[in-house]
Amino acid sequence: NAGVTQTPKFQVLKTGQSMTLQCAQDMNHEYMSWYRQDPGMGLRLIHYSVGAGITDQGEVPNGYNVSRSTTEDFPLRLLSAAPSQTSVYFCASSSPRGSGGAETQYFGPGTRLLVL
Amino acid sequence: AQSVTQPDIHITVSEGASLELRCNYSYGATPYLFWYVQSPGQGLQLLLKYFSGDTLVQGIKGFEAEFKRSQSSFNLRKPSVHWSDAAEYFCAVVLRGTYKYIFGTGTRLKVLA
């Protein structure tokens, strides 16, 4: 198993550009999530999904869109990038099995995004 | 408001010394509790988790954590630190029945040879 994969590893954008960060997992996990990591702020939840067709907002959803058309993929879209979105983005997945968030999350290696 | 606090931003210990990293949470009920470790340039890896039952939880790499309801704490400990333990450690919580994880701001551990 490849686990959780993220592409690209690094991206530079200009203010106002759009892009999609890709996340895929091959563990058949129902739950997938996106976080951003900023110095001194830990990881903050952007969006999450408990299954195909179901998404919900986390702590910092503004400026980001998600969709979940398959179990494997959970892309994160930046519609109009801003310098405040410069960060490291992590995707994670788990298999809650009805436990309401009690299961281990498996993290991808991260995407480093710089918005100029 | 719900929150997770890791009061120590940096901790430095000598190799072989004991370690305790602090984590406090503020929730109306006992959440699920986790400790993750992040090595430089890497994603996060789970060290241990607490759902219920025995308040002393054993994890990987010789780590353990103790849940204390009266103090709303879930401190991470290791009896003897190895140089390879140098990393950043995150406490995380999720309210039971939800999927909204909240992470602490992290504690960066430096190990002196």
Q: What is the mean pLDDT of chain A?
A: 93
Q: pLDDT value at position B3?
A: 87
Distance from CA of B62 to the nearest CA of A (A): 18
- Enumerate residues 6+ apart whose C-beta is below 8 A from B17: B80, B81
Residue A94 backbone class (left: φ over 0; alpha: ψ -120 to 50; beta: rest)? beta
Q: Is the pLDDT of residue B100 over 70?
A: yes
Q: Which of B88, B82, B80 is nearest to B104 (CA)?
A: B88
Of B43, B44, B94, Cβ closest to residue A101: B94
Closest residue of chain A to B8, computed from CA coordinates: A40
Q: Is A109 helix (H, G, I), strand (E, B) or coil?
A: coil
**CB-CB under 8 Å, A105 with B46:** yes
Provide the percentage of residues in chain B whose pLDDT is more than 90. 77
- Enumerate residues 6+ apart whose C-beta is below 8 A from B106: A42, B6, B9, B38, B88, B89, B90
Q: What is the DSSP string of B17-69?
A: S-EEE--EEE-SS--EEEEEEE-TTS-EEEEEEE-SS-SEEE-GGG-EEEEEG
**CB-CB under 8 Å, A4 with B98:** no
Q: Is the pLDDT of residue A101 over 80?
A: no
> Between residues 18 and 57 of chain B, which touch chain A (CB distance below 8 Å)?
32, 34, 36, 42-46, 49, 51
Query: Which tops the pLDDT comparison, B90 or A103?
Result: B90
Q: Are strands A10-13 and A111-115 parallel, antiparallel or unpaired?
A: parallel
**CB-CB under 8 Å, A102 with B51:** yes
Residues of chain B with Cβ-Cβ distance to A50 below 8 Å are 99
**Residue B61: phi, psi to the nearest 5?**
60, 25
Average pLDDT over residues B21-48: 91
Q: pLDDT value at position A34?
A: 97
Of A41, A44, A48, Cβ closest to residue B99: A48
**Residue B70: phi, psi to the nearest 5?**
-65, -25
Q: What is the pLDDT of residues A55-78, one digit of tens each?
A: 999 999 999 999 999 999 999 999
Q: pLDDT value at position A102?
A: 65
Which segment of A10-24, A62-76, A83-97, B74-88 scores lowest on mean pLDDT?
Answer: A83-97
Check if the beta carbon of residue B23 is closer than 8 Å to that of residue B90: no
**CB-CB under 8 Å, A45 with B102:** yes
Average pLDDT over residues B13-42: 92
Q: What is the pLDDT of residues B42-97, one digit of tens each?
A: 889 999 999 888 899 999 999 999 999 999 999 999 999 999 999 999 999 988 77
Distance from CA of A32 to the nearest CA of B (A): 10
Strand partners of residue B37:
B45, B89
Of B97, B101, B105, Cβ closest to residue A40: B105
Of A50, A107, A108, Cβ closest to residue B99: A50
**CB-CB under 8 Å, B43 with A42:** no
